Structure 1
């Protein structure tokens, strides 16, 4: 099983929003992106014994193996996507002049 860090999972959401923005650039109907609420099941793993780092990994659905002995937690995150401090629209930044 491949471990996915929480930061990597959030980056994937960011990448998908950017892709939706690009693909909606020429669409007549656009959607404002409001708060994005995501919930992850995560495993907290201490590496290197008592003084080691604690890492947070997103757990795959149906994960087994070493994560079976790891404590799992649910983490809810609300993201408020913005570009230059402003809320975004799907297609907002790639609009052609005159539109």
Structure 2
């Protein structure tokens, strides 16, 4: 079987979760000093992943997130559904983080016909 690693363009599962963490950190930084913030609750994520063996640095198995359209072309034996629930917390306090928005809310056009 040919090695098609270079043709594969999936995102490593760890990178996908890290991206969510980074977005929460950015949102939390934006909330600093705001009068209204929101507490982050459970984050539910679902991915279709493909498990791949990597030989670099020893034999490792990694989970790669694949595009929704891509899994139809792959055999179902190679892809798996992974669901996780993340419970974000601030390391220093153990509390759920607060997030906010740099811009104040504006409801001036609310309810108007377009």
TM-score normalised by the chain length of structure 2 = 0.64
Which has more helix, going by share of residues? Answer: 1
Distance, in Å, in 1 between the alignment partners of 2:13 and 2:63 is: 6
Distance, in Å, in 1 between the alignment partners of 2:41 and 2:65 is: 24
Query: Over aligned residue pairs, what C-alpha RMSD do you find?
Result: 2.3
> Secondary structure, in 3 states, of the residue corresponding to 2:80?
strand
Note the residue ranges of structure 1 that are not aligned, 5 or more in a row.
92-99
**What is the number of equivalent residue pairs in this alignment?**
87
Structure 1 moving runs of 4+ over 6 Å? none
| Partner residue of 1:31 out of 22, 28, 38 | 38
Deviation at 1:44, TM superposition (A): 0.9
Q: More relative contact order in 1 or in 2 (CA 8 Å, sep 6+)? A: 1
TM-score normalised by the chain length of structure 1 = 0.73
* Per-residue deviation, residues 2-36 of structure 1 (Å, max 9, x unmatched): 22111100000001111111222243221111111
